[in-house]
Structure 1
């Protein structure tokens, strides 16, 4: 029997051919938390965010949360939702300050 060594063979059980034929681990996936999309609202700030989602535009804001509270950023929201039926509204989208996708609570947002 020919044994081919994997670069991490010491971690996988050394030179044992049985270690190379180990069964794949079964991955159990946890269900995602249910979300409640926000499609209409009476909150003027949430309305502004919904308009930005529809028009694919970014919003200049100051965010009073996270690791740098009160810092100016541009945020392009892609969706608005709640984690509970009457919970705070969150906006998911691209943050220019971080350069990646973030979720912001809009009750912590102040328009610039």
Structure 2
């Protein structure tokens, strides 16, 4: 694809907004929902994640969610929490498959 001065100018013109429109498009950040940390659990996956948090080690798991359901991952959890008392447990940590921070729902995780 050949980029001409005119197509480049059109592209830049679409990216630069007039000062009267720009403030209207700014998004406001919503406050984060309160979380309830999980310190202990009878769930075997949550217990394994809590041990992994203490020892800062990855856990081999299969996750039944996301873009590749059932994919093998090595997940290093950093926190376990619930969004509501008695609700599902979530784990936040680093996924070695995606090389980024991810949040997994614990009831969708199977230990490898």
TM-score by length of 1: 0.75
Structure 1 residue aligned with 2:30: 30
Residue in 1 aligned with 2:45? 45
If you compute each CA radius of gyration, which structure gives the higher value, 1 or 2? 1
Deviation at residue 28 of structure 1 after TM alignment:
4.0
The answer as to 2:89 corresponding to 1:89 is yes
Unaligned runs of 5+ residues in structure 1 are 1-7, 14-18
Number of residue pairs aligned between Structure 1 and Structure 2: 97
Structure 2 residue runs without a partner (length 5+): 1-11
Distance in structure 1 (CA, Å) of the matches to 2:99 and 2:91: 16
Alignment of 1:93-112 (within 5 A): 93-112=93-112
Return the structure number with greater helix share.
Answer: 2
Task: Provide the TM-score with structure 2 as the length reference.
Answer: 0.75
Matched residues in 2 for 1:12 and 1:66: separation? 35
1:12 to partner: Cα distance: 5.3
SS in 2 for 1:85: coil
Partners of 2:106 and 2:78 in 1: how far apart?
13
